[in-house]
């Protein structure tokens, strides 16, 4: 299994500002994932963060809006830039672990409200 610490757990931000979310894992993992979950909805993958290379973004998400860092095998950050109320959501980081390397473990999430 993997234990993930994510912070902050929640924040209220002003329009036009940026917020950086941190994700720390208790073991080395190849891939870390960042998801967005809007209220009452499913998980939408924003990007996959690999150590030593640029993140891979899903359709509809761009690096300028959601820059990601992955400085080592246990840590990643996601920045939500130039925020608008539409960015209000829960952001979750996730890693794969387990026998087949494909069981996903999630952080507790960051509940972001943009005013």
Partner 1 sequence: GENVEQHPSTLSVQEGDSAVIKCTYSDSASNYFPWYKQELGKRPQLIIDIRSNVGEKKDQRIAVTLNKTAKHFSLHITETQPEDSAVYFCAASKSNAGKSTFGDGTTLTVKP
CB atoms within 10 A of CB 40: 5
| Residue in 42, 52, 60, 64 binding partner 1, rule: CB under 8 A | 42
31 makes contact with partner 1 (CB under 8 A)? yes
Q: What residues from 90 to 109 belong to the interface with partner 1 (CB under 8 A)? A: 92, 96, 100-109
Please identify, using beta-carbon distances, which residue of 24 and 104 lies nearer to partner 1: 104
The Cα 83–Cα 79 span in angstroms is: 10
Beta bridge partners of 94: 33, 106
Please identify, using beta-carbon distances, which residue of 14 and 42 lies nearer to partner 1: 42
- Shortest spacing between CB 43 and partner 1, in angstroms: 5
73 makes contact with partner 1 (CB under 8 A)? no
The Cα 13–Cα 8 span in angstroms is: 12
The Cα 73–Cα 58 span in angstroms is: 21
Please identify, using beta-carbon distances, which residue of 14 and 39 lies nearer to partner 1: 39
| Residue in 48, 51, 69, 81 binding partner 1, rule: CB under 8 A | 48
Whether omega for the bond prior to residue 8 falls within 30 degrees of 0, making it cis, is: yes
Please identify, using beta-carbon distances, which residue of 33 and 66 lies nearer to partner 1: 33
**Beta strand pairing call for 75-80 and 68-72:** antiparallel
């Amino acid at each position: 299994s993997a234990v993930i610490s994510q912070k902050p757990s929640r924040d209220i931000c002003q329009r036009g500002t940026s917020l950086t979310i941190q994700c720390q894992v208790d073991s080395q993992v190849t891939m870390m994932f960042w998801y967005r979950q809007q209220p009452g909805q499913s998980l939408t993958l924003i990007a996959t963060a690999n150590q030593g290379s640029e993140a891979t973004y899903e359709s509809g998400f761009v690096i300028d809006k959601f820059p990601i860092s992955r400085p080592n095998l246990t840590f990643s950050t996601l920045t939500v830039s130039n925020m608008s109320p539409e960015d209000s959501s829960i952001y979750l980081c996730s890693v794969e672990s387990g026998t087949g390397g494909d069981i996903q473990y999630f952080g507790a999430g960051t509940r972001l409200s943009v005013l």
